[in-house]
Amino acid sequence: MALTTPIDPAGPTPQDEHQRRGREGGRVLVLNATYEPINVCTVRRAVVLLLKEKAEMIEAADWRLHSATTTLDRPLVIRLVSYVRVPRDSHRRKITRRAVFARDDWTCQYCGSRANLTVDHVVPRSKGGPSTWENIVASCAPCNRRKGDMLPRQIGMHPVRPPRAPSPTVFIRVASPTIPAAWRAYLAA
């Protein structure tokens, strides 16, 4: 499945094709049987699921994948044929900087800045604050330094939105640096 060519013979140049593949990032959105987004996988994994008939293609790119014996549409969105039970304990998911930033829309929760982001414990760890989704927010470095190890009421700095466990789509947004247009309809919630 190494070569790709456009479907339209008068289609884009190889350089355009390379840029398109770069934008789509080689990632495929995986939907549960109920059309709920549950994961992002590689094109290779998606093709294996399609060939084993464990998934069906919902959205395809306008170019194809070629092997020695087969030509397939390049999947963008696939749907699993059988329902997969997904645990809803997002509060137990690993807390990462990127996930906190994505949950908080890449903005400081104290001043709204989008530059120089760090993570901040609302109730500092030195004051007994836990490292949980409900106590960590995105913060710009100046706000984080100003707050230091004080409680929000002591310094008068309160997060714009109270921190909470993220929705499952946050982890899909973290897994793919850019969200292709074909995914947006399935991620809207």
The rounded distance, in Å, linking the Cα atoms of 73 and 58 is 11
Q: Evaluate if pTM is beyond 0.85.
A: no
pLDDT at 92 (0 to 100): 65
Q: Which residues of the chain form CATH 1.10.30.50?
A: 94-155
Check residue 90 and give its pLDDT: 52
Q: What stretches in the chain show pLDDT beneath 50?
A: 1-24
Helices (H), 52-179: 97-103, 141-147, 152-155, 168-175
Predicted local confidence at residue 25, as pLDDT: 59
- CATH assignment, 94-155: 1.10.30.50
Strand partners, 27: 42
Q: What pLDDT score does 5 carry? A: 44
| Average pLDDT of every residue of the chain | 84
pLDDT of the residue at 1: 47
Q: What is the pLDDT of residue 12?
A: 47
Looking only at the bridges linking them, the beta strands covering 71-80 and 55-66 are antiparallel
Cβ-proximal residues to 188 (8 Å cutoff; 6+ apart), any chain: none
C-alpha distances in Å from residue 161, one per residue of 43, 111, 112, 119: 36, 11, 11, 15
